[in-house]
Amino acid sequence: MAELPGEPLHILLVEDNEAHAELVIRGMRDQQVANRIHHVIDGEQALDYLFGRGAFADMKKNPCPNLILLDLRLPKIDGLEVLKIIKTTPKLLRIPVVVLTSSDAESDIARSYDYHANSYVVKPLEFKKFTQLMKDLGFYWLGWNTMPIKD
């Protein structure tokens, strides 16, 4: 990635299920890349974080993420609407968004890609598979993937 050596990567996790969030956080922390995970529990908080509003106004504590992990079924504002807003906002559209959801519905997959999701991943139900998925996902997005330098 095009980051300064030693500078932590920031991941915004948008997940309302606490058990799933904990598995994602553990999986991402196991990576050999310095990262910080910022967890929000609904679509409204996600947008507040990304636009630096309300409780997330301090951009030093809540910097622009390098990666967004986005659930679809969220309270307040649906994940698809959050995705659509991200990918139609010039300052946010380059942030990779991985839809990480339990839905394998073709309509959700198609709409996610219509709104320019960078990846769509269905959460496995089995603990071991979920844990392995988080390791693989972190390895790819935080280790192998190359991003443009932030403006």
The CATH number linked to 108 is 3.40.50.2300
Judge whether 3 lies within some domain.
no
- Dump pLDDT digits (tens) for 15-69: 999 988 988 888 777 665 667 899 999 999 999 999 999 999 998 999 999 999 9
Judge whether 134 lies within some domain.
yes
Structure confidence at residue 8 as a pLDDT band (50, 70, 90): confident
pTM: 0.88
The number of CA neighbours under 13 Å toward the Cβ of 134 is 20
Judge whether 79 lies within some domain.
yes
Question: For residue 103, is it left (φ>0), alpha (ψ between -120 and 50) or beta?
Answer: beta
CB neighbour list of residue 132: distance below 8 Å, 6 or more residues apart: none
Strands 97-101 and 35-40: unpaired
pLDDT at 6: 55
- Among residues 124, 108, 141, 114, which one has the least CA distance to residue 33? 141
- Dump pLDDT digits (tens) for 89-135: 999 999 999 999 999 999 999 999 999 999 999 988 888 888 788 77
Judge whether 150 lies within some domain.
no
Which domain does 37 fall in, by range? 9-142
How many distinct structural domains can be found in the chain?
Answer: 1
SS3 call for 132: helix
Helices H, strands E: what count in the chain? Answer: 5, 5
Judge whether 29 lies within some domain.
yes
pLDDT at 93: 93
Given a cut of 60, whether residue 2 has pLDDT beyond it is: no
Judge whether 124 lies within some domain.
yes
